[in-house]
Structure 1
Amino acid sequence: MQYLQYIKPAITADTSTLSATNLAGRRIEAGAFSHPQWLRLCFIERQLLWERRLTTTMLMETFGISRPQAQKDIKLYQQLAPTAMKPYQLGIPYHQPTEGFEPVLLSGEDLQWQSIEDYAPPSAGHATEMPMLKRRHNLPVLARLLSAIEHQRSIEAVIATMNSPKGRTRRLTPTAVAFVNNRYHVRAFCWDHMGYRDFLIGRFKSNPEVVTAPRSGMSSAKNAPAFEQCNGVPPEADTDWDQMVELELKPNPHLSGEQQALIASDYELEEGGAWKRVTMRKPLIGYFLVDNRIPSSKVEYHMAAHDNPIAWPVFACTADSNRPAHEIGFKPD
């Protein structure tokens, strides 16, 4: 599972100095800073957003800069985002984000996780790149959900789904965020369905608002909503999320022997004389199958076996029981 993705700086040609009005209500642009400094400022914000902590040592080791320079960068970020960090607390050797922290440098289009800087594709006449559709991201929503997870809060928000495309109010207790291909999901206990589900963050129609249950004993009536009866604490653990499943990947056995050998080479499915194995959380298996063109349903499995095996080159099964991976399933909302 990829848990998050990092930032691609949006460099602009504008080199004007930032004014106080720039800092309120909209994202700060990169043009007022040198490129190395912009990357360091984005790194600071990335640490506060995802790691929920920042130290000068992190900046020093990542960028190879001196301690005074790292401290100077942190001070500059505090000037750009004066409400982003909690005041210094005795005994805590790192900076913490405030509970209402929202990024001012990063945008939903710039999210990256693995690297500090992304490079543009080659522009030579003999090379080209196929455009890919991007999914909508909502960075303020993402920031609030991460804060809710950190502080164990429940939230309410209007969320659109395929079953409710106009959106309706949901009450959730978020527990984790997963980045799947080009989209973010939040894993949460849904108080409507009384179970754990996945919600696309890009489909939040309103910013999440924290909700709290009455103090223990004040809503013990049997006809009280489940959220109040449970004091806002999910009544069950997310056992599916905690379960790690190992999958074995191999060529579609309904292809010819030569075709299977080609697929094994294409996808590098052989490792040390055995088929390739990957391990992931159980709720993410369905997404893995869909995004990698592996049969993800009974219908697709039948098509891969009988109708058009070439369209489904790779099969996946559980490593321990050889059970087709699509039978495990998943429950997006």
Structure 2
Amino acid sequence: MQYLQYIKPAITADTSTLSAANLAGRRIEAGAFSHSQWLRLCYIERQLLWERRLTTTMLMETFGISRPQAQKDIKLYQRLAPKATKPYQLGIPYHQPTEGFEPVLLSGEDLQWQSIENYAPPSAGHATEIPMLKRRHNLPVLARLLSAIEHQRSIEAVIATMSSPKGRGRRLTPTAVAFVNNRYHVRAFCWDHMGYRDFLIGRFMSNPKVVKAPRSVKDWGENAPAFERCNGVPPEVDTEWKQMIELELKPNPHLSDEQQSLIVSDYELDQGGAWKRITLRKPLIGYFLVDNRIPSSKVEYDVAVQDNPKAWPVFAYITYSNRPAHEVGFKSD
């Protein structure tokens, strides 16, 4: 996964002239900085977004720069995004993002997670690249959800789903974010369904707003809604998210021996005489199957067995059993 997408240069003024006022309402762009400084500023924002902390040492070790240069970069970022970091707090040896932190450098079109460099596809005449369909992302929503998880907040937002394509209000207590191929999901306790569900972040139609649990439900009586009755704390632990399941990957046994050998080579399924294995959280198994063209339902499994095994070259089983992985299932919304 890539972490930042470059934006066509637009701001060319000296960085000393950039202020919160003249940057309001527009994304800060790479053309305003040297290439190396732009990477460091984006790294600062990456740390605040994902790690929820930033130290001078992180910058020094990642980019091989001096402490004065790292401190200078942090101060520059704080001028560009004055509402991004909390004021210095005695006893906390790192910079923290504010609860309302939103990125001003990173692009929402390609929400990158790990790397801090963006490489263009090859442009030689003998090489080409097939484009991937991109899912819509919402970077401000992602930032607010990560903040809600960090501070253990519940939120309200209008969210579209396949069952409610126009969107409807939901009250959620988010607990984790997962990146699945080209899209982000938030794992949350849904107070409508009274259970943990997955929601596509790109389908949030409004920015999440923090909902504070009431201090008392006496005025509600016996008719108190679940959120108020539980004081905003999910009544159950997300045991499925904590459950790690190991899968064993094999070629479709309904292919010929020669075809199976080819699939083993294609997907590097032979791991020193044993089948390739992968460990996932239980709710993420369904996504893994779909994105890797592995039967993710009984219907697909039956087709792969009886009708068209070539279209489903790899099967996944729960390790130490013949149970197909699709039987584990997952819930999404």
- TM-score > 0.5 by shorter chain: yes
Q: Deviations over 1:120-158 (max 9, x none)?
A: 111000000001100000000000000000000000000
In the other structure, the counterpart of 1:90 is 90
How far, CA to CA, are the matches of 1:30 and 1:110 in structure 2? 15
In the other structure, the counterpart of 1:254 is 254
Q: Give yes or no for the alignment of 1:8 onto 2:5.
A: yes
Structure 1 115/148 Cα, relative in aligned 2: closer, same or farther at 3 Å? Answer: same
* Amino acid across the alignment from 2:24: A
How far, CA to CA, are the matches of 2:249 and 2:306 in structure 1? 19
Structure 2 residue runs without a partner (length 5+): none
* Amino acid across the alignment from 1:45: E
Quote the offset at 1:5 in angstroms.
5.8
How far, CA to CA, are the matches of 1:29 and 1:110 in structure 2? 15
How far, CA to CA, are the matches of 1:157 and 1:142 in structure 2? 12
How far, CA to CA, are the matches of 1:55 and 1:137 in structure 2? 28
Contact 2:18/2:80 (CA < 8 Å) preserved in 1?
no
TM-score by length of 1: 0.96
How far, CA to CA, are the matches of 2:149 and 2:207 in structure 1? 15
Pairing of 1:1-333 with structure 2 (within 5 A): 6-12=3-9, 14-17=11-14, 19-20=18-19, 21-216=21-216, 218=218, 221-333=221-333
Quote the offset at 1:115 in angstroms.
1.3
TM-score by length of 2: 0.96
* Amino acid across the alignment from 1:196: Y
Contact 2:102/2:144 (CA < 8 Å) preserved in 1?
yes
Moved more, 221-230 or 17-26: 17-26
Structure 1 220/317 Cα, relative in aligned 2: closer, same or farther at 3 Å? Answer: farther
Contact 1:254/1:305 (CA < 8 Å) preserved in 2?
yes
Q: Deviations over 1:219-263 (max 9, x none)?
A: 673211000000000000000000000000000000000000000
Contact 2:244/2:279 (CA < 8 Å) preserved in 1?
yes
Q: Deviations over 1:176-214 (max 9, x none)?
A: 000000000000000000000000000000000000111
Percentage identity across paired residues of the two chains: 83
Structure 1 residue runs without a partner (length 5+): none
How far, CA to CA, are the matches of 1:211 and 1:199 in structure 2? 18
Quote the offset at 1:109 in angstroms.
1.4
How far, CA to CA, are the matches of 2:23 and 2:40 in structure 1? 18
Q: RMSD value over aligned CA atoms?
A: 1.4
Structure 1 60/219 Cα, relative in aligned 2: closer, same or farther at 3 Å? Answer: farther
Q: Deviations over 1:79-107 (max 9, x none)?
A: 00011100000000000000010111112
